[in-house]
Chains A and B, each alone.
Chain A
C-alpha cells in the first residue's frame, strides 16, 4: 500500500523536552517537506529536502531540526527551543523538486 506514513497520530510534549515526528514514504519520491498548520490557518513550510543528506530551511525553521539519511525517511524534531509547538504537523513528498506534493495524514502535537 503506497503512500506517506506519519507517526504518531497524536503526540504530547513536556516542557523542555525534544520530540521527534516520523515521516516515511514508499513512493520513491526525491523531495520531502514538513509543514506546520495552526487552527484555521494555512500551511507554513518548516524544512524541505530535495535529496538524501541535504535539506533546507523553510519559512519557520527556528526550534526545529531534521535529517535525511534515507530517501524514504524525513524525521522532524521539535526541540525545546520551539516555545509554541502546539500544532498539526504535515509531511509531504514530491517526485521531483517543485512538483506536486502528496501529504501524509498528519501528527497533532500538544504541550502538557
Chain B
C-alpha cells in the first residue's frame, strides 16, 4: 500500500529564515498532496495543496513543490515567524478512494526568536 515518509521529524530555524520539509510517497497513482498545520491541542488545518499535474504552487510565504518522477514533494516556508511554530503533516491521496489518504509522521517546526 501507499507509504509517505516525512523528514525531518523536528526542525528549528531562526526567525526570518526559511524552513523546508520533505515528503516521499510510494504509490505513483497518488494524485493530490495536501499539507496540514497542527497547533498545540488543535486539529490539523489545511494550509496548501498541490495536484499531480502541477509542479509548484505558492501562497504568500508558503510554497509546495512536486517532483512526480522522484515521487517527492516539499513544503517551503519563507521569512518564518513565531506563529509558524507547529507540527506540519504532509499527505498523499489517490483522489478516488476514501481509504487512500496517507499522512506523513509529522514535522515539529520551532521558530527561534
Interface residues of A (CB under 8 A from B): 4, 6, 31, 33, 40-43, 45, 48, 50, 56, 58, 90, 92, 94, 97-106, 108
The reply to whether the CB of B113 lies closer than 8 angstroms to some CB of chain A is no
Question: B45 to A99, Cβ gap below 8 A?
Answer: no
Q: Give the complex CA separation of A31 and B99 in angstroms.
A: 11
Contact pick for B99, options A43, A45, A101, A104, CB 8 Å: A45
Question: B95 to A90, Cβ gap below 8 A?
Answer: no
Q: Give the complex CA separation of A94 and B94 in angstroms.
A: 14
Q: A41-B106, A100-B46 are in contact. List 16 more A-B contacts (CB 8 A).
A: A40-B106, A40-B108, A41-B105, A42-B89, A43-B103, A48-B99, A56-B99, A90-B43, A97-B97, A98-B95, A101-B34, A103-B43, A104-B43, A105-B43, A106-B42, A108-B41
CB interface residues, B 6-54, toward A, < 8 Å: 6, 32, 34, 36, 41-46, 49
Measured between beta carbons, the chain A residues less than 8 angstroms from B101 are 45, 98, 101
Q: Give the complex CA separation of A99 and B49 in angstroms.
A: 12
Q: A43-B103, A50-B98, A98-B101 are in contact. Are A103 and B44 (CB under 8 A)?
A: yes
Q: Give the complex CA separation of A108 and B42 in angstroms.
A: 10
Question: A42 to B49, Cβ gap below 8 A?
Answer: no
Q: Give the complex CA separation of A56 and B97 in angstroms.
A: 12
Q: Give the complex CA separation of A41 and B103 in angstroms.
A: 10
In the assembled complex, the CB of B12 is this many whole angstroms from the nearest CB of chain A, namely 16
The reply to whether the CB of B58 lies closer than 8 angstroms to some CB of chain A is no
Question: A98 to B43, Cβ gap below 8 A?
Answer: no
Q: Give the complex CA separation of A108 and B40 in angstroms.
A: 12
Measured between beta carbons, the chain A residues less than 8 angstroms from B41 are 105-106, 108
The reply to whether the CB of B96 lies closer than 8 angstroms to some CB of chain A is yes
Residue of B nearest to A45 (CB): B99
Question: A42 to B98, Cβ gap below 8 A?
Answer: no
Question: A42 to B45, Cβ gap below 8 A?
Answer: no
Measured between beta carbons, the chain B residues less than 8 angstroms from A94 are 98
The reply to whether the CB of B112 lies closer than 8 angstroms to some CB of chain A is no
Question: B43 to A97, Cβ gap below 8 A?
Answer: no
Question: A100 to B32, Cβ gap below 8 A?
Answer: yes
